[in-house]
Amino acid sequence: MAARQPRFNQQVLIDTTPLPDNIPKVTEIGASSAPLLSASYFIGARCKPYNDDYMVCKTEANGKGEMECMKEGRKVTRCAASVLDDINKHCLQEFRRHWECLDNNNQQLWQCRGAERQLNKCVFENLKLEKVIPGTPEGETPVHLRKRQIYAHY
């Protein structure tokens, strides 16, 4: 309940004051959950150093650090935006197919392997980003590359 958004009785009041001018501007991502989920492994692959920097900064500030980590946070956002821009530029069709499939299937990744395979192929050819799941047991096909998905209903 602590993180509940304050709501007023009459209207929802939204503070629209922008950030002061001495803080550099950054365009927010503005994507909904399905495209983000679809692109997450590529964001992770390209932006790992920035993400790690940011998380180290947050950890050193004991999980606070909203002010201190703004610079790293901007880098994280810009990097993720660049990945999404590149995917949109080169693989728009495959990307759209995959995240629409995710949206239609309760955002369960195993239901959309066909679309995902095409997206991964296109992204690997154009952006040289590969989906790797850390911690997969040795000598086992990673779950996203398996021919048969036990739980998928196709």
Residues at the interface with other proteins (CB under 8 A): 6, 8, 10-11, 13-20, 23, 26, 28-29, 36-37, 40-41, 43-44, 47, 50-51, 54-55, 58, 64-67, 69-70, 72-74, 76-77, 80, 109-110, 133-136, 140, 142-144, 149-151
Distance, CA of 133 to CA of 140 (rounded, Å): 12
Task: Name the DSSP class of 6.
Answer: P
Shortest CB 35 distance to other proteins, Å:
11
Alpha helices in 5-91 (DSSP H): 33-46, 48-60, 70-90
Shortest CB 69 distance to other proteins, Å:
7
Nearer to other proteins, 57 or 122 (CB): 57
Shortest CB 120 distance to other proteins, Å:
13
Q: Please state, in angstroms and as integers, the Cα–Cα distance from residue 34 to each residue in 4, 58, 103, 109, following that order.
A: 24, 26, 6, 10
